[in-house]
Chain A
Amino acid sequence: MNKFQDYAHLIRVAAVFLLGAIAFVAVRAAILPKSFGRYGYYRGDALQEITSRLVAYAGHQQCEGCHPDVLEVKAKGVHAHVNCESCHGPLAKHAEDPSAVKPVLPNVATLCVRCHSENIAKPSGFPQVDAKEHAQGQLCNTCHQPHSPGFEAGGKK
């Protein structure tokens, strides 16, 4: 038995390791998120957490549902493909409850120049002006109908 006794302390070490391994497996089973691995190597519940976020922009189809008159004017002009919230900002809350949430009209002084101030990097065919020269101190919507600003389509005020 001498031989075995000389190895006994190594058995004790192995026992410590084994206990550690068992403890690890137990702790893991207890705290591993249940949805992990459901769809792939990630926590499945994360998908729901991400998709449950509220939208801020309603999307132009929602606007057009209640404002077909504006859509009619826009459809004939050069701003036909400029979506409503591009100028009017995020309006999902307004679309949800139109009377409770009143949208604020955009500030014309800073809105139009964002797209139309001239810049060497803009595509050459795109309508751009030196705002000061062109406007001569007046607001853009003095002469241009914002929903259909081109004069050919009858957008002149």
Chain B
Amino acid sequence: MNRRQILLLLPAAAIAWDFVLAGTPEEAPNYNAMDHWWGMLLDITKCIGCGSCVQACAKENDVPDGYFRTWVERYHVDDWHIESPVVDSPDGGKEGFPQSELKGGKNFFVPKLCNHCVDSPCTQVCPVGATFHTADGVVLIDYNYCLGCRYCIQACPYGCRFFHPTRHTAEKCTLCYHRITKGLTTACCEVCPTGARQLADLKNPNDPIQAFLKTHAVQVLKPHLATGAKMFYNGLDGSVR
């Protein structure tokens, strides 16, 4: 290849590279993935355990019964015994929680979902590239390519993946990618009555959550595993697993 050919190829390559990075899905022509970096704020001080998020997710995404793309856990911590909380999640909290028999102590709800980790162990172990990161920070599954080997389900430290009983592929929260690429918020955030769940675009300088994250003490789940989780918890207690 001579110098002239290379010079001609360079701009073509640059355009192609742009296209590669854009990740523009055809369905949302105005959406440029490179302009967004998705996360979420989960405010433990506001969650009332109503389970609306679990129901809404199930309706929005046809989640089969008994499996959960998102769920709510209830914690009961006696005194300072943060190493041994009592936790329950009846049907993932979908119908709310019955009044607890346990008295006293610290009690709170923790909503959970896929953390859309930057360094996700699930995408690392997929043998064929059926689960992947988008350019805007969402971890998705290609249902027409997944083998159903379930290695990703084993590798997720948070228990957010499951095996779809009829589709026979891995399945998990998609951060309602079909909604957020159209300017809507996720189904769970849409129905949360107290604002305990709020979608965050960490590349948007005007995003109120970005400001919140800079001024409040927030945590991610299992930080010692260095997954780069992007679901940030405000008011997370040390007992939360």
Q: Which of A41, A52, A118, A123 contacts B27 (CB 8 A)?
A: A52
Range, interface on chain A: 35 or more
Give the docked Cα–Cα distance between A59 and B190 (Å). 7
Q: Which of B76, B135, B195 contacts A81 (CB 8 A)?
A: B195
Judged by a CB distance under 8 angstroms, whether A83 is at the interface is yes
Judged by a CB distance under 8 angstroms, whether B60 is at the interface is yes
Q: How far is the CB of A104 from chain B (nearest CB, A)?
A: 13
Quick one: which of A39, A47, A59, A118 has the most chain B CB within 10 A? A47
A59-84 contact mask (Cβ, 8 Å, vs B): 1 or 0:
11000000000000000000101110
Give the docked Cα–Cα distance between A142 and B82 (Å). 44
Q: Which of B52, B179, B181, B182 contacts A114 (CB 8 A)?
A: B52
Contacts of A40 in B (CB 8 A): 23, 132-133, 135
Give the docked Cα–Cα distance between A149 and B149 (Å). 51
Stretch at the interface among A1-9, A15-23, A85-93, A133-141: A85-93
* A117, B99: Cβ atoms closer than 8 Å: yes
Judged by a CB distance under 8 angstroms, whether A108 is at the interface is no
Judged by a CB distance under 8 angstroms, whether B121 is at the interface is no
Interface of A is mostly: loop
* B179, A55: Cβ atoms closer than 8 Å: yes
Interface of B is mostly: loop
Judged by a CB distance under 8 angstroms, whether B172 is at the interface is no
Contacts of B117 in A (CB 8 A): none
* A43, B142: Cβ atoms closer than 8 Å: yes
Judged by a CB distance under 8 angstroms, whether A56 is at the interface is yes
Judged by a CB distance under 8 angstroms, whether B168 is at the interface is no
B122-141 contact mask (Cβ, 8 Å, vs A): 1 or 0:
00000001111111000010
> Known contacts being A43-B145, A56-B60, A115-B48, is A51 close to B177, with CB within 8 Å?
yes
> Known contacts being A51-B25, A120-B102, is A41 close to B132, with CB within 8 Å?
yes
Find residues 60-80 in chain B having any chain A CB closer than 8 Å to their own CB.
60-61, 74-76
* A60, B142: Cβ atoms closer than 8 Å: no
Give the docked Cα–Cα distance between A51 and B176 (Å). 9
> Known contacts being A46-B140, A55-B178, is A121 close to B107, with CB within 8 Å?
yes
8 of the cross-chain contacts (CB-CB < 8 Å) are A48-B25, A49-B144, A50-B174, A51-B25, A55-B60, A57-B191, A114-B95, A126-B194
